[in-house]
Amino acid sequence: MAFKTLSAANAAALDKDLMSVGAFSIDQLMELAGLSVSQAVYRVHPPSRGRRVLVACGPGNNGGDGLVAARHLWNYGYTPTVYYPKQSKNELYQRLATQLKDLSVPFTTDFSASLQETDHVVDAIFGFSFSSPLREPFPSVITALENTKIPVTAVDAPSSWDIEKGPPSEGPGAKFMPDFLVSLTAPKPLVGWFTGRHFLGGRFVSPGIARKYNLDLPEYDGVDQIVELGKNGEKL
Amino acid sequence: MAFKTLSAANAAALDKDLMSVGAFSIDQLMELAGLSVSQAVYRVHPPSRGRRVLVACGPGNNGGDGLVAARHLWNYGYTPTVYYPKQSKNELYQRLATQLKDLSVPFTTDFSASLQETDHVVDAIFGFSFSSPLREPFPSVITALENTKIPVTAVDAPSSWDIEKGPPSEGPGAKFMPDFLVSLTAPKPLVGWFTGRHFLGGRFVSPGIARKYNLDLPEYDGVDQIVELGKNGEKL
């Protein structure tokens, strides 16, 4: 790797530190992470290019970030549709889903059909805690993402990719290359295989935590919740 | 009033609705409210005008918004100092204070001395739930804010003002006129007495809640968490 990244194990440990030493609640962190994702989508695909955004949410924290992003996108004037096939019983995720229903954001159960009727896709299926194999219904969803011409923004990781080893060597995801990636808190090793536009989000890492994990984070501009990175991790 | 405002009782009821029907947690709402405040400060007083910001926090939710704003201001490159004389035992506020301590943000106990060494002040002492009289140590703090030449941004209400009747007729606050005001969720009737630059923040009110409280909220631009309003409540 040309720049410092955060292993899957360290990403999990950093998240724990944010909530223990850092005293953040998961509500706060997810709100800010999802806000970052929504700002990246606005940057790469402003509403003038098409307001329809399909947000695919997995069962865990990555999906929660997607639910938050969908709400902010609605606030920005997009018309999001949410695909959330494995809804968590966790109270936080239930509340995030209710917040969307209160805005009359539609939830779809047919990913392929919805993919025919959108202008942009957010892949919030799996993040840094993913490990193979993909379980139903996600293999076909990943295959659809792999083959679509619609631009895709991935949250923290292109879903199906190994956090440290990149795309799988075969099967769903082997040829999946999202157009845009938003790394949260810090880039993971998989960015070495990623060829699209890369953003960093999650503007809540303290200098103490950055030092502990040997991170060399770029400066964000102004009030931005995202910063675009070049191939060597430098700020663009 | 030339435009629709939210009474103190309705502001409290709307907050309850956001957390019941809207399914928001107070962590989420406070994070977004404090983020709005930080963006307003950045707009009216960018770091190039002086990085020192004194954030005065009261014992309740308005103080919590201030604590969140101070953290985001630190992220933007300011050097905030926090005055928080009546620290709540509430777990959320304690966590918000810990988040600042983790960034080595100093807490001062001498408001007057700190006021001599700052470039901007955030008044997050009292919000829509304020009712007179002011209790110690706040009368002298309000008097200091009233007399300072340093620009002040007030959160939701100039502290000491009655939410519906504006500034008190005499005593501390009678001549308090902050330069900037950030109304959260919707303007309160006190804006009729306010002569400075006025922003709206708290971009999380659903159309259903806006209808219920007969609010006529302006549109925010892009990903902004604030919108500036004119004298008649129109978007500037």
Question: Per-domain residue ranges for chain B?
Answer: 8-103+111-216
**Which overall architecture, per CATH, does domain A8-229 show?**
3-Layer(aba) Sandwich (3.40)
Q: Please judge whether B102 and A42 are an interchain contact, meaning their C-beta atoms are less than 8 angstroms apart.
A: no
Question: Which among B26, B93, B223, B225 is the top mutation candidate for probing chain A, defined by the most A β-carbons within 10 Å of its own β-carbon?
Answer: B223
B131 is in an annotated binding site: yes
Burial class (CB in 10 A: 0-12, 13-18, 19+), B86: middle
Side-by-side strand order, sheet with A120-124: A107-108, A79-83, A52-57, A120-124, A152-155, A180-184, A197-201, A226-229
Contact between chains at A103 and B75 (C-beta distance less than 8 A): no
Which residues of chain A make contact with B24, given a CB cutoff of 8 A?
95, 99
B39 touches chain A (CB under 8 A): yes
Cα–Cα distance between B138 and B159 in angstroms, integer? Answer: 9
- Architecture label for domain B8-103+111-216: 3-Layer(aba) Sandwich (3.40)
**Which residues of A, range 49-88, sit inside 8 Å of B by Cβ?**
72, 75-76
**With an 8 Å Cβ cutoff, are A23 and B223 in contact?**
no
Q: Give the bridge partners for B53, in sequence order.
A: B80, B120
CB–CB contact A102 B39 (8 Å): no
Q: Which of residues 189-228 of A touch B (CB under 8 A)?
A: 203-204, 206-208, 220, 222-223
Q: List the one residue out of B188, B181, B161 whose CA is nearest residue B172.
A: B161
Give chain A positions within 8 Å (CB) of B32: 31
B5–chain A Cβ distance below 8 A for any pair: no
Total beta-carbon pairs less than 8 A apart between chain A and chain B: 71
Written as tens digits, the pLDDT of chain B (236 aa) is 457 899 999 999 999 999 999 999 999 999 999 999 999 999 999 999 999 999 999 999 999 999 999 999 999 999 999 999 999 899 999 999 999 999 999 999 999 999 999 999 999 999 998 988 899 999 999 999 999 999 999 999 999 999 999 999 999 999 999 999 999 999 999 999 999 999 999 999 999 999 999 999 999 999 999 999 998 889 99
- Note if the pTM is more than 0.90: yes
A140 is in an annotated binding site: no
Strand-pair partners of B19 = none
Does B222 sit within 8 Å of A24, measured CB to CB? no
Any binding-site annotation on B62? Answer: yes
Write down the pLDDT at residue A233.
87
- Using CB atoms, which residue from B23, B25, B28 is nearest to A102? B23
| Cβ–Cβ below 8 Å for A102 and B206 | yes
Nearest chain B residue to A31 by CA distance is B28
Q: Does B28 touch chain A (CB under 8 A)?
A: yes
pLDDT in the model for residue A1: 44
Residue position matching structure tokens 């536009």: A197
State residue A150's pLDDT score. 98
Q: CA-to-CA distance for B201 and B204, rounded, in angstroms?
A: 9
ipTM over 0.90: yes
Reported as a single tens digit per residue, the pLDDT across A168-215 is 999 999 999 999 999 999 999 999 999 999 999 999 999 999 999 999
Residues of chain A short of pLDDT 70, as ranges, are 1-2
Q: Which of B31, B49, B94, B221 to mutate to test the interface with A (most CBs of A within 10 A)?
A: B31
Residue among A95, A110, A112, A103 nearest A79 (CA)? A103
Question: Given this model, what pLDDT does residue A2 score?
Answer: 53
Nearest residue on chain B to A103, judged by CA atoms? B206
What pLDDT does residue B1 have? Answer: 44
Measured between CA atoms, the residue of chain B closest to residue A91 is B23
CA distance B155 to A86: 40
| Interface touch B24/A206, C-beta < 8 Å | no
Residue closest to B189 by CA, chosen among B161, B211, B169: B161
Beta strands B120-124 and B52-57 are parallel
Give the one of B31, B92, B103 whose C-beta lies nearest to A32's C-beta: B31
Cβ contact B27–A31 (<8 Å): yes
